[in-house]
Amino acid sequence: MPDCIFCKIIAGEIPCNKVYEDEHVVAFHDIQPQAPVHVLFVPKKHMVSLQAMEAGDEVLLGHMMKVVAQQAQALGVSQGYRLVSNCGASAGQSVDLLHFHLLAGRNLQWPPG
Protein backbone atom coordinates (compact mmCIF):
# COMPACT_ATOMS: atom_id res chain seq x y z
CA MET A 1 0.00 0.00 0.00
CA PRO A 2 1.60 3.26 -1.07
CA ASP A 3 0.45 5.40 1.89
CA CYS A 4 1.04 2.79 4.63
CA ILE A 5 3.81 3.90 6.99
CA PHE A 6 4.54 0.31 8.01
CA CYS A 7 4.81 -0.77 4.35
CA LYS A 8 7.32 2.06 3.86
CA ILE A 9 9.29 0.84 6.90
CA ILE A 10 9.26 -2.73 5.55
CA ALA A 11 10.46 -1.45 2.15
CA GLY A 12 13.30 0.47 3.80
CA GLU A 13 11.91 3.86 2.73
CA ILE A 14 11.54 5.00 6.36
CA PRO A 15 14.26 4.14 8.89
CA CYS A 16 13.45 2.28 12.08
CA ASN A 17 15.24 0.80 15.07
CA LYS A 18 14.86 -2.79 13.89
CA VAL A 19 15.23 -5.70 16.29
CA TYR A 20 14.30 -8.55 13.93
CA GLU A 21 13.52 -9.32 10.30
CA ASP A 22 12.91 -12.44 8.24
CA GLU A 23 11.02 -13.16 5.03
CA HIS A 24 7.62 -12.89 6.78
CA VAL A 25 7.86 -10.35 9.61
CA VAL A 26 9.74 -7.30 10.78
CA ALA A 27 10.00 -6.06 14.37
CA PHE A 28 11.11 -2.62 15.48
CA HIS A 29 10.94 -0.26 18.43
CA ASP A 30 7.88 1.99 18.57
CA ILE A 31 8.74 5.68 18.10
CA GLN A 32 6.18 6.61 20.78
CA PRO A 33 6.83 3.95 23.42
CA GLN A 34 4.18 3.29 26.05
CA ALA A 35 6.52 1.17 28.17
CA PRO A 36 10.29 0.86 28.61
CA VAL A 37 10.17 -1.96 26.04
CA HIS A 38 7.70 -1.33 23.20
CA VAL A 39 8.33 -3.31 20.03
CA LEU A 40 6.02 -3.62 17.02
CA PHE A 41 5.74 -6.88 15.07
CA VAL A 42 4.46 -6.37 11.52
CA PRO A 43 3.81 -8.99 8.84
CA LYS A 44 5.26 -8.27 5.41
CA LYS A 45 1.96 -9.37 3.91
CA HIS A 46 -0.41 -6.40 3.98
CA MET A 47 -3.62 -7.19 5.84
CA VAL A 48 -5.57 -4.50 7.65
CA SER A 49 -6.28 -6.41 10.87
CA LEU A 50 -7.15 -9.83 12.23
CA GLN A 51 -10.60 -9.30 10.72
CA ALA A 52 -9.01 -9.32 7.24
CA MET A 53 -7.37 -12.74 7.62
CA GLU A 54 -7.61 -15.05 4.64
CA ALA A 55 -7.29 -18.82 4.37
CA GLY A 56 -3.72 -19.81 5.15
CA ASP A 57 -2.90 -16.68 7.17
CA GLU A 58 -2.91 -18.71 10.38
CA VAL A 59 0.52 -20.06 9.36
CA LEU A 60 1.88 -16.50 9.13
CA LEU A 61 0.29 -15.52 12.44
CA GLY A 62 1.64 -18.63 14.14
CA HIS A 63 5.10 -17.73 12.87
CA MET A 64 4.67 -14.20 14.21
CA MET A 65 3.76 -15.52 17.67
CA LYS A 66 6.89 -17.70 17.64
CA VAL A 67 8.98 -14.65 16.68
CA VAL A 68 7.35 -12.61 19.49
CA ALA A 69 8.30 -15.28 22.05
CA GLN A 70 11.86 -15.50 20.73
CA GLN A 71 12.29 -11.72 20.73
CA ALA A 72 10.81 -11.39 24.22
CA GLN A 73 13.55 -13.77 25.35
CA ALA A 74 16.22 -11.82 23.40
CA LEU A 75 14.98 -8.51 24.87
CA GLY A 76 15.11 -9.95 28.39
CA VAL A 77 11.38 -9.58 29.07
CA SER A 78 10.12 -13.14 28.66
CA GLN A 79 9.16 -13.23 32.35
CA GLY A 80 6.33 -10.74 31.75
CA TYR A 81 5.01 -8.79 28.80
CA ARG A 82 1.75 -7.80 27.15
CA LEU A 83 0.94 -8.43 23.50
CA VAL A 84 -1.73 -6.19 21.95
CA SER A 85 -3.32 -5.93 18.51
CA ASN A 86 -5.95 -3.25 17.98
CA CYS A 87 -8.68 -4.02 15.42
CA GLY A 88 -10.36 -0.90 14.04
CA ALA A 89 -10.24 2.78 14.85
CA SER A 90 -12.58 2.49 17.84
CA ALA A 91 -10.09 0.07 19.43
CA GLY A 92 -7.17 2.45 18.84
CA GLN A 93 -5.78 1.09 15.57
CA SER A 94 -4.04 4.05 13.92
CA VAL A 95 -2.18 2.24 11.10
CA ASP A 96 -4.24 0.03 8.80
CA LEU A 97 -1.81 -2.87 8.78
CA LEU A 98 -2.05 -5.72 11.26
CA HIS A 99 0.60 -5.36 13.93
CA PHE A 100 1.27 -6.50 17.46
CA HIS A 101 2.65 -4.33 20.27
CA LEU A 102 4.94 -6.06 22.76
CA LEU A 103 4.92 -3.97 25.96
CA ALA A 104 7.17 -4.73 28.92
CA GLY A 105 9.63 -3.34 31.42
CA ARG A 106 7.13 -1.97 33.94
CA ASN A 107 4.09 -3.20 35.84
CA LEU A 108 1.20 -3.10 33.38
CA GLN A 109 -2.21 -2.30 34.84
CA TRP A 110 -5.52 -4.05 34.18
CA PRO A 111 -7.87 -3.16 32.69
CA PRO A 112 -5.63 -1.55 30.09
CA GLY A 113 -7.88 1.39 29.34
Active site residue 24: no
pTM: 0.92
The pLDDT score that the predictor gives to residue 97 is 84
| Catalytic, out of 24, 38, 63, 99 | 99
Q: In this predicted model, which residue has the larger pLDDT, 95 or 106?
A: 106
Q: In terms of DSSP bridges, do strands 37-43 and 82-84 run parallel, antiparallel, or are they unpaired?
A: unpaired
The pLDDT score that the predictor gives to residue 2 is 64
CB 85 within 8 A of CB 50: yes
The pLDDT score that the predictor gives to residue 88 is 82
Nearest of 53, 45, 34 to residue 94 by alpha carbon: 34
Alpha helices, DSSP H, located in 1-113? 5-10, 57-74
Q: Express each pLDDT in 43-100 by its tens digit.
A: 999 898 999 999 999 999 999 999 999 999 999 999 999 999 999 887 788 888 899 9
Which 3 state secondary structure label does DSSP give 14? Answer: coil
The pLDDT score that the predictor gives to residue 1 is 58
* CA contacts within 13 A on the Cβ side of 9: 26
The pLDDT score that the predictor gives to residue 96 is 82
